[in-house]
Amino acid sequence: MITMKRVRKTYPNGVQALNGMNIHIDKGEFVYVVGPSGAGKTTFIKLMIRELKPSEGLIQINGNNLGDLSDKQIPYLRRKIGVVFQDFKLFTKLSVYENIAFALEVIEEDPEQIKTKVMDVLEIVGLKSKARFNTSELSGGEKQRIAIARAIVNQPAILIADEPTGNLDPETAWSIMGTLEEINNRGTTIVMATHNSHIVNTLKKRVIAIENGKVVRDEVGGSYGYQA
Amino acid sequence: MAIKRKTLTRHGREGFKNIRRNGWMSFASMSAVAIMLFVVGAFAFLIVNTNHLIDTIENDVEIRAFFEHDVDASEQESVLEEVESHDSVENVVYRDRDEGLDVFMESMGSDGEVFENLREENPLNDALIIQATDPQMTAAVAEEVNAQSAIESVEYGESILGQLFTVTNYVRILGGALVIGLIFTSVFLISNTIKLTILSRKDEIQIMKLVGATNSFVRFPFFIEGALIGLIGAIIPIAGLTVGYSYLYSFMYDQVPFFTFVEPNPMIWQISGLLLLVSILVGIFGSQMSVRKFLKV
């Protein structure tokens, strides 16, 4: 499903974010990506949605080599990957409903279908009653749920979440994890970058640790392994 | 790839909604459009009327060609025919010496009556009053007519004519240059203001791209929005200029009879149409140029 081989990424300012990274993630897996700040987690995510191009190496998603994608093909890649950003990246002037509907409008979904799918996904994240709210009226946890709802409304095969529990209180963080677990149970592959040691150590999954742009540890049911 | 009709509807709707969502910024853009169009429009009216004034002055330029005293009627007739058939001659009127005296006396007002006793021994010549097709051809036509043996002399105010044309030509060139300069300035200012409204929506565009929107999907609503800003921004100055000019025209018509402005119809509609078109195009141009910068995500 996701394969990276000898991937290097050097930024124009000379910083080497990834330094020969090898990863393979199968369909339906739930993977934590951990590591100290600046280890390369965000670069790793940006490479998967082609927000960045690797300087070297091969990245394959669903058998497609991202290096071969033309600029015109990038939107179609992104529609197959749901992404939950740490800063939510919601449209601040739009309602909850409109934020989620946007991901369906992009794929030119039928207006009737949009309605049904948006309400379904709001049900999953438990915010059906707030469909008409403006996103600025929501709490951090609610915003995160909307971001998750938008990421999964297209039923992508892969959900990438960058620090989805960052800046959230423990209770909210756990309910977000519950939602992700549920999505994973429906067959969606989940890759989650996190600093939350409590979650990683409690809800045991495969853990990939990155340091200095390389995978230093990869174990199923592993622990966080860093000082929280 | 053809865009589906429902997607097109969606883009149109979003374009309208964006104007409302970005209320103050839309208002700022429309104001910029309105102010600049008002200035350009007012200036366009000024230039059109200046040209009209110049044309009026130039068209008053006429050649008076005086026949020799001893030329008979048939010879005068053949000269008249020859002048009439000249390519650069617009209009020829024959004025015999009696008419010439009438015109002269009239021009002197009540004092003119003292010349009535000249009627018997009229010293004036029979004449042709000639207008050239192009006023600037006057001198050339005058020279050719003067070459006729039946013609004693020609008058066309040669001393001031050269200066007049120099001045009118300069005014025309200057006016044209100012209009072009003004249009460029307003295109720049308007598209810059629109750029600012879109600059504030950089994040919005990035999110669209990250969620999987194609460039054209992002662009289309901005296209509609830009066109709408141009359209709405143009309405007030066009209405103001139309009403203002019509009023000014009838005021001048009543108060200053010797010089009339260019008739509002159809000139007003031509200028309004042009302003509207330019405004919409600049709106679209401004929005598309600024969106383009943020599409590389």
- For residue range B233-256, what is the model confidence (pLDDT) as tens digits? 999 999 999 999 999 999 888 887
> pLDDT tens for residues A128-180?
999 999 999 999 889 999 999 999 999 999 999 999 988 788 988 898 899 89
- Alpha-carbon distance of A201 to B168, in angstroms, equals 89
User: Which pLDDT does position A104 carry in this prediction?
Assistant: 94
Alpha-carbon separation of residue A34 from A85, A88, A162, A224, B266 (angstroms): 16, 20, 11, 7, 73
Mean pLDDT of A93-108: 93
Across chain B, mean pLDDT equals: 86
User: Which pLDDT does position A152 carry in this prediction?
Assistant: 92
Q: Residue A10 class from Cβ within 10 Å (0-12 exposed, 13-18 middle, 19+ buried)?
A: middle
Q: Establish, for the pair of chains A and B, how many residue pairs have beta carbons separated by less than 8 Å.
A: 48
**Residue B212: which of A79, A89, A91 has the nearest Cβ?**
A79
Position B1 pLDDT exceeds 80 = no
User: Which pLDDT does position A169 carry in this prediction?
Assistant: 86
Compare all CA atoms of chain B with the CA of A72 and give the residue at the minimum distance.
B214
Domain covering B62-156: architecture: 2-Layer Sandwich (3.30)
User: Which pLDDT does position A228 carry in this prediction?
Assistant: 54
Query: For chain B, which residues make up each domain, given as ranges?
Result: 5-57+165-294, 62-156
User: Does ipTM surpass 0.95 in this model?
Assistant: no
User: Which pLDDT does position B97 carry in this prediction?
Assistant: 85
Question: Is A75 within 8 Å of B213 when comparing Cβ atoms?
Answer: yes
Compare all CA atoms of chain B with the CA of A106 and give the residue at the minimum distance.
B213
Question: Is A91 within 8 Å of B204 when comparing Cβ atoms?
Answer: yes
- Alpha-carbon distance of B26 to A225, in angstroms, equals 52
> pLDDT tens for residues B13-37?
888 888 888 888 889 889 988 998 9
Amino acid residing at B280: I
Mean pLDDT of B54-69: 84
Position B105 pLDDT exceeds 80 = yes
User: Which pLDDT does position B134 carry in this prediction?
Assistant: 85
Give the three-state DSSP class for B141: helix
**Residue B4: which of A49, A106, A108 has the nearest Cβ?**
A108
Percent of chain A at pLDDT > 70 equals 99
Place A11 in a pLDDT band, splitting at 50, 70 and 90.
Answer: very high
Amino acid residing at A36: P
User: Which pLDDT does position A205 carry in this prediction?
Assistant: 95
- Alpha-carbon distance of B246 to B264, in angstroms, equals 6
Place A101 in a pLDDT band, splitting at 50, 70 and 90.
Answer: very high
Q: How many CB atoms lie within 10 A of CB B132?
A: 23
Position B2 pLDDT exceeds 80 = no
**Minimal CA separation from B212 to chain A, in Å:** 4
- Provide, as residue numbers in chain B, all residues whose Cβ is less than 8 Å from the Cβ of A91: 204, 207
Query: Among B6, B16, B48, B14, which Cα is nearest to B231's?
Result: B16
Mean pLDDT of A43-57: 92
Place B137 in a pLDDT band, splitting at 50, 70 and 90.
Answer: confident
Give the three-state DSSP class for A202: helix
> pLDDT tens for residues B187-215?
888 878 888 878 888 888 999 999 999 99
Instruction: Delineate the domains of chain A, giving CATH numbers in brackets.
Output: 29-40+79-220 (3.40.50.300)
Q: Which residues contact A58 (CB under 8 A, 6 or more apart)?
A: A3, A4, A5, A6, A7, A65, A67
Q: Residue B213 class from Cβ within 10 Å (0-12 exposed, 13-18 middle, 19+ buried)?
A: buried
Query: Among A46, A81, A96, which Cα is nearest to A151's?
Result: A81
The 10 Å CB-count burial string (b at 16+, else e) for A15-35 is eebbbebebebeeebbbbbbb
User: What residue spans of chain B are helical by DSSP H?
Assistant: 5-21, 23-59, 73-84, 97-107, 138-146, 158-199, 202-210, 215-255, 264-294
CA angle centred on B277, ends B276 and B279, rounded to 5°? 65
**Residue B213: which of A49, A85, A106 has the nearest Cβ?**
A106
Q: Report the residue of A52, A93, A148, A152 to disrupt the B interface, i.e. the one with the largest count of B CBs within 10 Å.
A: A93
Q: Which residues contact A186 (CB under 8 A, 6 or more apart)?
A: none
Percent of chain B at pLDDT > 90 equals 22
Question: Is A76 within 8 Å of B212 when comparing Cβ atoms?
Answer: yes
Mean pLDDT of B159-179: 83
Question: Is B10 within 8 Å of A105 when comparing Cβ atoms?
Answer: yes
Place B76 in a pLDDT band, splitting at 50, 70 and 90.
Answer: confident
Chain B interface includes A130 (CB < 8 A): no
